[in-house]
Amino acid sequence: MQEVQNYIQANKDRFLEELLELLKIPSVSADPAFKNDVIKTAEFVADSLNKAGVDNVEVCPTAGNPIVYGDKIINPDLPTVLVYGHYDVQPADPIELWESGPFEPVIKKTEIHPDGAIFARGSCDDKGQLYMHVKAIEALLANDALPCNVKFMIEGEEEVGSVNLGIFCKENTEKLSCDVILISDTSIIANDTPSITTALRGLSYVEVEVTGPNRDLHSGVYGGGVANPINVLCDMIASLHDENGHITVEGFYDDVEELSMEERKKMAEAPFNEEAYKKSLGIDAVQGEKGYSTEERVSIRPTLDVNGIWGGYIGEGAKTVLPSKAFAKISMRLVPHQDSDKITELFSNHFNKIAPDSVKVEVKPHHGGAPAVTPTDTPEYQAAHLAMIDTFGKDPIPKREGGSIPIVALFEEVLNAKSVLMGFGLNSDAIHSPNEHFGLFNFYKGIETIPYFYKHYAELKK
């Protein structure tokens, strides 16, 4: 292992330069205008796996964006780790809030990253983190030190729901057969407080449309006598939470897993500074469901949030209009045992029920995803734990996180393998926001830790 670590130290600068090239390609999956760049990115990833010494590298076409596959089978009798990551990124908007171009990576020091951080869309989510895996395997292969089999599956549609990856997995169970899936697409608590993610929330996403009169009306001639769909939509949305921050959709909490007091006490031991949290977000107070801490609200409790709302006149100046329609996008984060399809249906029924007779409503479901929990009493969790001790010099803390990676639940179902969520980002790295960044410390720590994961996993599986 020392040789592997020496190799990483000796090649640090080149690793970074290569990542910067990857970050320059705008692989936005949500916008079809970036289709060619998405394909270029898949080819870049495939090329980098080839150069790292990985075998059987292919860019697999799907009905959507291609999936990059590659493997290194050193001995079929040894355990196999499947590395999953995504090369697609979120749109850069609002672009005017970026201090430098989202696809022109620059390195800047910050208070949290005194050694510097790479500013670019995808630097943390997930190009920077997937590239740690490419460089880790390069270091292992260059030193003839890979202790187990490794497969790579890097997709280009995570940020839009991974629909084609689900199909790909179902059609290629043999090719993808493995003992465990290793994913770096989550965060650690802080650079001096390593953690391993033990749960992800699920998602149910809908779009609603409220229709009032059959056309936009003069708000003086008709206002007061005809329902304004924007006013109605605001009332309806406001009623979706009660005064305690509980979601009012009937049946919403029926399947929610309640954690024991003991588990909650254990969770509360993880370091969290609410004052610093508020300060970093520029807010004077936190808000959420009564009876739960901030840390619990953003991990073990389900939520309902409006992601966008529109309708009526929003151009320059004033226009006195009573609009015909109002719209909103609403997402619900789900916790273990909640079912995405069921929640979408409960929401739809509830939303129709609370609509006044003066409007018509339509609820259109978007993508959903199941929550996931990863056990801590497995060789793979233990391997991640030991690997982090090797490189951070302290025990990582198990932590439930609030984000979603819907494909994790499907992996378990289709590939019959558990996942290890060993991410290296920070929640303050602004993923999905302007000025996303990834610490150089984090990038290198990931590259250094991954080889130890393979080593411990191979030993524990003996």
* Residue window 111-150: x/- pattern of binding to ligand BES, with contact defined by CB under 6 A: --------------xx------------------------
**Is the CB of 304 or the CB of 322 nearer to ligand BES?**
304
Size of the residue set binding ligand BES (CB under 6 A): 17
Binding of ligand BES by 28 (CB under 6 A): no
User: Does the protein bind ligand BES through residue 85 (CB under 6 A)?
Assistant: no
Angle (nearest 5°) at CA 48 between 20 and 150: 125
Reference 216, options 230, 235, 200; nearest CA is 230
Nearest residue relative to ligand BES (C-beta): 403
- 87/457 with CB nearer Mn ion: 87
Task: Using the structure block, give the residue that is written with the tokens 């796996």.
Answer: 49
Name the minimum Å distance from CB 30 to ligand BES. Answer: 9
- The reply on whether position 179 binds ligand BES by CB under 6 A is no
Q: Which of residues 88 and 380 has its CB atom nearest to ligand BES in the complex?
A: 88
369 binds, among ligand BES, Mn ion, none (CB under 5 to 8 A by kind): ligand BES
**Pairing verdict, β 325-334 and 372-373:** unpaired
**Is position 105 an interface residue for ligand BES (rule: CB under 6 A)?**
no
H or E segment at 95?
none
Among 65, 404, 435, 449, the residue binding ligand BES under the rule CB under 6 A is: 404
Q: Among candidates 454, 442, 447, which has minimal Cα distance to 188?
A: 442
| Residue 404 interaction partner, one of Mn ion, ligand BES, none, beta carbon < 5-8 Å per kind | ligand BES
- Helices 127-142 and 440-460 cross at an angle (nearest 10°) of 50
232-263: b (≥16 Cβ within 10 Å) or e: bbbebbeebbeeeeebebeebeeeeeebeeee
Q: Is the dihedral of CA 418, 422, 425, 428 positive or negative?
A: positive
* Position 401 contacts ligand BES (CB under 6 A): yes
Q: Is 88 in the site for Mn ion (CB under 5 A)?
A: no
- For position 185 contacting Mn ion by CB under 5 A, the verdict is yes
Question: Between residue 323 and residue 382, which ones bind ligand BES under the rule CB under 6 A?
Answer: 367, 369
Q: Which of 403, 439, 446, 451 binds ligand BES (CB under 6 A)?
A: 403
Residues in contact with ligand BES by CB under 6 A are 125-126, 158-159, 161, 185-187, 200, 203, 367, 369, 401, 403-406
Residues in contact with Mn ion by CB under 5 A are 125-126, 185
